[in-house]
């Protein structure tokens, strides 16, 4: 293996087979989901899970999401009440994570939940993550495949730039369609806004003085390396302006003002802004409605220093 770069394999049978062997050996693999690229390991293997934390440089108190192929597999790991089962039936496979009471006999490494009695579970829709779940036959713990406190990756190149040789293998299946991390729901409240909106779920955000509450939802979680100014309608000379709708700039989230398109492009745009020759980043206002709530949640974190 090259010491500087991870192996990047185009999605396909051979790539999934190689990835499954890496997982079976207790290794870690970066794999796309419909939200962002995840850094996956066998959730039942504590040493494999430790490698995730090590590669990300992540504080070990921040629990991980576990990915399973279907509701039946999820019910073997956590206890569902009727409300949780209704949400799962309606939205899985898809970008919804449910935080539920962990079954004591679930066989999940304690490091996955950071010792909590609850566990975050989701059934992903993306073909690559689904193929890896099928090939390994294991529940896969997978946080976003970026170094801790960096912008989440929506392309294989973002993973390679952030983690480098700390990840041995990346499955490349292009850009993630949703582009924002999954919506997290616990006890009928939204802990993290995401691609499935509060309106679609008919649920309210769990807030604490206007801030979303989830362990590990650190204010700086999505910080680029440069200062970020929000609600900008024009840019200073040293600013890289990310446009939206009528506000044009150096980059554009959605010229037609489509928030779903903007969500899919957001992290890619932040990565480009970070790599630009400008010292600061400015971002045009994005309306709060629908998935705009999740976009603005990530932007506020990016702007918080
Ligand atoms: O879309 C996604 O959810 C992506 C893809 C890869 O699936 N994953 C992802 O994982 O965003 P990560 O680790 O970057 O974010 C997990 C979030 C953290 O904010 C963590 O605190 C929260 O889920 N979480 C995990 N377990 C929890 C629990 N038992 N209770 C409350 N929050 C939990
Ligand atoms: Mg993350």
Task: Write the ipTM.
Answer: 0.98
Q: What helix, strand, coil percent values describe the chain, rounded to 5? A: 30, 20, 45
Q: Which residue has the tokens 């993290």?
A: 192
Instruction: Please say whether the beta carbons of 139 and 73 come within 8 A.
Output: yes
Measure the CA–CA gap between 105 and 234, rounded to whole angstroms. Answer: 56
Instruction: Please say whether the beta carbons of 152 and 66 come within 8 A.
Output: no
Ligand 1 atom nearest the C-alpha of 34 is 1
Distance from residue 26's CA to the centre of ligand 2 (Å): 21
Distance from residue 150's CA to the centre of ligand 2 (Å): 8
Is the omega angle on the peptide bond into residue 150 within 30 degrees of 0, that is, cis?
A: no
Among 20-34, 49-63, 174-188, name the one with the lowest average pLDDT. Answer: 49-63
pLDDT tens digit string along 41-52?
A: 999 999 999 899
Count of CB atoms situated within 10 Å of the CB of 147: 17
Q: How confident is the model at residue 115 (pLDDT cuts 50, 70, 90)?
A: confident
Helical axes 259-275 vs 156-163, angle rounded to 10°: 40
Which token pair is 196?
């499935």
Q: What pairing do the DSSP bridges indicate for beta strands 65-67 and 118-122?
A: parallel
Q: Which residue has the tokens 């209704």?
A: 86
Identify residues whose C-beta is under 5 A from ligand 2, the ion: 144
Give the predicted TM-score (pTM) of the model: 0.90
The sheet carrying 169-172 orders its strands as 7-10, 169-172, 29-32, 37-42, 140-141, 65-67, 118-122, 96-101, 183-186, 189-192, 204-205
pLDDT tens digit string along 140-171?
A: 999 999 998 889 999 999 999 999 999 999 99
Q: Is a pLDDT exceeding 90 seen at residue 101?
A: yes
pLDDT number for residue 221: 55
CB of residue 224 inside a 6 A radius of ligand 1: no
Rg of the chain over Cα atoms, rounded to whole angstroms, equals: 19
Measure the CA–CA gap between 222 and 176, rounded to whole angstroms. Answer: 17
Q: Is a pLDDT exceeding 60 seen at residue 297?
A: yes
Q: 53, 211, 214: which to mutate for ligand 1, most atoms within 8 A of CB?
A: 214
CB of residue 114 inside a 6 A radius of ligand 1: no
Domains of the chain, earliest start first: 7-181 (3.90.870.10), 228-303 (3.40.50.11030)
Q: Is a pLDDT exceeding 80 seen at residue 180?
A: yes
List of residues 6+ apart from 40 with CB closer than 8 A: 23, 28, 29, 30, 31, 67, 129, 132, 140, 141, 142
CB of residue 119 inside a 6 A radius of ligand 1: yes
Exposed/middle/buried for 177, CB within 10 Å: 0-12, 13-18, 19+?
middle
pLDDT number for residue 213: 52
Measure the CA–CA gap between 102 and 1, rounded to whole angstroms. Answer: 38
pLDDT tens digit string along 204-236?
A: 888 665 444 555 554 555 678 899 999 999 999
Q: HEC string of 55-113?
A: HHCCCCCCCCEEECCCHHHHHHHECCCHHHHHHHHHHCCCCEEEEEEECCCCCCCHHHH
Measure the CA–CA gap between 52 and 63, rounded to whole angstroms. Answer: 11
In the chain, count of helices (H) and strands (E)? 10, 17
Q: 144, 186, 196: which to mutate for ligand 1, most atoms within 8 A of CB?
A: 144
């Amino acid at each position: 293996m090259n010491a500087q770069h991870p192996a990047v394999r185009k999605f396909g049978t051979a790539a999934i087979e190689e990835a499954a062997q890496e997982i079976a050996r207790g290794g870690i693999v970066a794999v796309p989901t419909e939200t962002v690229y995840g850094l996956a390991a066998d959730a039942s293997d504590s040493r494999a899970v430790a490698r995730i934390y090590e590669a990300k440089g992540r504080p070990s108190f921040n629990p991980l999401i576990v990915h399973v192929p279907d509701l039946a597999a999820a019910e073997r790991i956590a206890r569902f009440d009727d409300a949780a089962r209704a949400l799962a039936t309606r939205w899985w496979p898809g970008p919804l994570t449910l935080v539920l009471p962990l079954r004591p006999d679930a066989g999940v490494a304690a490091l996955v939940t950071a010792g909590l009695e609850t566990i975050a579970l989701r059934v992903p829709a993306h073909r690559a993550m689904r193929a890896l779940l099928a090939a390994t036959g294991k529940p896969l713990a997978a946080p976003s495949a970026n170094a801790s406190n960096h912008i989440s990756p929506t392309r294989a190149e973002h993973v390679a730039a952030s983690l480098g040789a700390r990840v041995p293998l990346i499955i490349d299946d292009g850009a993630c369609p949703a582009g924002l991390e999954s919506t997290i729901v616990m006890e009928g409240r939204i802990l993290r806004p995401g691609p499935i909106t509060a309106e679609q779920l008919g649920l309210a955000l769990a807030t604490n003085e206007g801030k979303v509450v989830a362990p590990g939802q650190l204010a700086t979680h999505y910080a680029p390396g440069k200062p970020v100014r929000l609600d900008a309608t024009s840019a200073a000379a040293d600013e890289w302006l990310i446009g939206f709708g009528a506000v044009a700039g150096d980059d554009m989230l959605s010229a037609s003002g489509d928030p779903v398109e903007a969500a899919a492009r957001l992290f890619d745009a932040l990565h480009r802004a970070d790599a630009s020759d400008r010292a600061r980043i400015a971002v045009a206002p994005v309306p709060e409605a629908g998935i705009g709530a999740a976009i603005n949640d990530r932007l506020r974190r990016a702007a918080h220093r």
